[in-house]
Amino acid sequence: MKETKAGEAPILSVRNLRTYFDTEYGVVKAVDDISFDVRKGEVLGLVGESGCGKSVTNLSLLRLVPTPPGRIAGGQILFNGKNLLEGSEEDIRLIRGANISMIFQDPMTSLNPLLRISLQIAEALELHHGLSKKAAVAKAVELLKAIGIPDAESRAHDYPHQFSGGMRQRVMIAMAISCNPDILIADEPTTALDVTIQAQILDLIKNLSDRNTMSVIMITHDLGVVAGMCDTICVMYAGHIVEKAGVDELFSDPKHPYTRGLLDSVPRIDSAWRRRLYSIPGAPPNLVQLPAGCPFRPRCERVMDICGREFPPETVFGEAGGAPRSVRCWLHVPRDAGHEVQRDAKHE
């Protein structure tokens, strides 16, 4: 884990972000009052089950949430001290790609099937760096070589359907890093790839982060990925961040029952033979009709009376390696915090 300086100003600071979707069934609170920081060179992981709000969070950072039905209902997204939610569409367009880039989840649907690969990579270089078309294409070939595409001079003029899944993902990475961004958002970058290609893609992203001191926001549901990649982890559930910690602290001492359930559901090589794999009971809640209190309450094995009445406040445990440690769970609210927490004896 990288040692981050506690006093160092974050390059990206998200405060009380709320992103909602207006549907015929009601308001879907996909992201509901979340806050986190990303420092220069840090790899931050956003983990959780499908539908917990990971991808919507990062689409919000670049103001790519489709409107309607989506809308950013409140909060701040501070990039180098500038609130991206207050800028014009032209302002945010100049930041996309140049300062904050994104590797989208499915490269086949993100790449234009009618354009050659070289032209798709060159577009950002022409827009943000003012290169001529010829110079931008030449730079695109260099990028393809850098990310391990064989025979890059020839393959640069192929179309997306002529590449394998792993090669298309590499092309997406080349597009994302073409302008040397300060922050790279990787949305499930290894989805649908075989294990060998997954390892190559993750090593490539990690090396780029280390070499260019580039910050990375890694979106995944794979805890094995965050264990080897991330410095800090935010665990999301039902649009909330329920636990934040450094990677070592989270794996050695998970505080939230949901985090512990995620870790227990991962197969372990040192576990007992034929041990039944743990599964978190129930299913994620309907975001239109969230239960009162803590949204994890219906699935939690350590539920208490207050869990059904109030959403838990954030309890901060200090910092480890520069990364703040916090959790939103009534099990960890101090007795003197002014809340009437009725704990069962078995929870003591």
pLDDT tens-digit map of 140-171:
999 898 888 889 999 999 999 999 888 888 88
Residue 201, domain CATH: 3.40.50.300
Looking at the structure, do residues 244 and 320 belong to the same domain, yes or no? Answer: yes
**Are 79 and 99 in contact, with CB atoms under 8 Å apart?**
yes
Q: What is the pLDDT of residue 274?
A: 67
For the residues 306-318, what does the mean pLDDT come to? 90
Phi and psi at residue 40, in whole multiples of 5°?
-60, 130
**Token pair for residue 159?**
């179309």
**Mean pLDDT of all residues belonging to the chain:** 86
Any domain includes 3:
no
Question: Does 6 map to a domain?
Answer: no
Tokens in use for 66?
């489709």
pLDDT band at 331 (very low <50, low <70, confident <90, very high): very high
In the predicted structure, residue 7 carries a pLDDT above the cut 70: no
With 90 as the cut, is the pLDDT of residue 313 above it?
Answer: yes
- pTM across the whole model: 0.86
Determine the distance from the C-alpha atom of residue 235 to the mean position of all C-alpha atoms in its chain, rounded to a whole number. Answer: 10
Q: Is the pLDDT of residue 348 over 60?
A: no
Residues 6+ apart with CB under 8 A from 320: 245, 246, 248, 249
Cβ pair 312, 330 in contact under 8 A:
yes
Determine the pLDDT at residue 345: 35
159 and 206 belong to one structural domain: no
How far apart CA 53 and CA 296 sit, in angstroms, is: 15
Q: Which pLDDT belongs to residue 298? A: 92
Give domain status of residue 23, yes or no. yes
Last residue of a domain, one of 139, 155, 180: 180
DSSP tag of 143: H
Give the structural domain span for 318: 12-99+181-347
Interatomic CA distance for residues 195 and 190, integer angstroms: 9
In terms of Cβ atoms closer than 10 Å to its own Cβ (0-12, 13-18, 19+), residue 301 is exposed
Would you say residue 46 has pLDDT above 80? Answer: yes
Q: How many domains does the chain have?
A: 2
Query: Which position has the token pair 């780029």?
Result: 208
- The percent of residues in the chain predicted with pLDDT above 70, rounded, is 91
Are residues 51 and 284 in contact, defined by beta-carbon separation less than 8 angstroms? yes
Whether omega for the bond prior to residue 69 falls within 30 degrees of 0, making it cis, is yes
pLDDT band at 190; cut points 50, 70, 90: confident
Is residue 323 a contact partner of residue 341, using CB atoms and an 8 Å limit?
no
Whether the predicted pLDDT of 278 surpasses 90 = no
| pLDDT tens-place string over residues 94-146 | 898 889 999 887 777 788 999 999 999 998 888 888 889 999 999 999 989 88
- Do 306 and 296 touch, CB atoms closer than 8 A? no
Q: Are residues 70 and 115 in the same domain?
A: no
What is the C-alpha separation between 21 and 334, in angstroms, rounded?
35
Task: Report yes or no on 1 lying in a domain.
Answer: no
In a domain, 2, yes or no: no
Cβ atoms of 176 and 144 within 8 Å: the answer is no
- Which position has the token pair 């701040």? 76
Q: What pLDDT score does 166 carry?
A: 81
Tell whether omega for the bond before 285 is within 30 degrees of 0, i.e. cis: no
Helix %, strand %, coil % of the chain (to 5)? 35, 25, 45
CA triple 246-341-290, angle to 5 deg:
70
CB burial of 261-296 (b: ≥16 within 10 Å; e: otherwise) equals bbeeeeeeeeeeeeeeeeebeeebbebeebeebbbb
Q: Once rounded to an integer, what is the mean pLDDT over residues 313-333?
A: 81
Answer yes or no: do 223 and 281 share one domain.
yes
- Both 305 and 236 in one domain: the answer is yes
Residue-level pLDDT at 315? 92
Pair type for strands 82-83 and 70-79:
antiparallel
Looking at the predicted structure, is the pLDDT value of residue 197 above 50?
yes
- Mean of the pLDDT values across residues 6-22? 88
Q: Residues 266-279: what's their mean pLDDT?
A: 73
From 145, 180, 215, the end of a domain falls on: 180
Q: What does the pLDDT look like over 200-233, one tens digit per residue?
A: 888 888 888 888 889 999 998 888 888 888 999 9
Q: If pLDDT is split at 50, 70 and 90, which confidence band does 343 have?
A: very low
Is residue 346 pLDDT above 60, yes or no? no
Mean pLDDT, range 238-243, rounded to an integer: 94
Check if the beta carbon of residue 57 is closer than 8 Å to that of residue 46: yes
The region, left, alpha or beta by phi > 0 then psi within -120 to 50, assigned to residue 135 is alpha
Judge whether residue 344 has pLDDT over 50. Answer: no
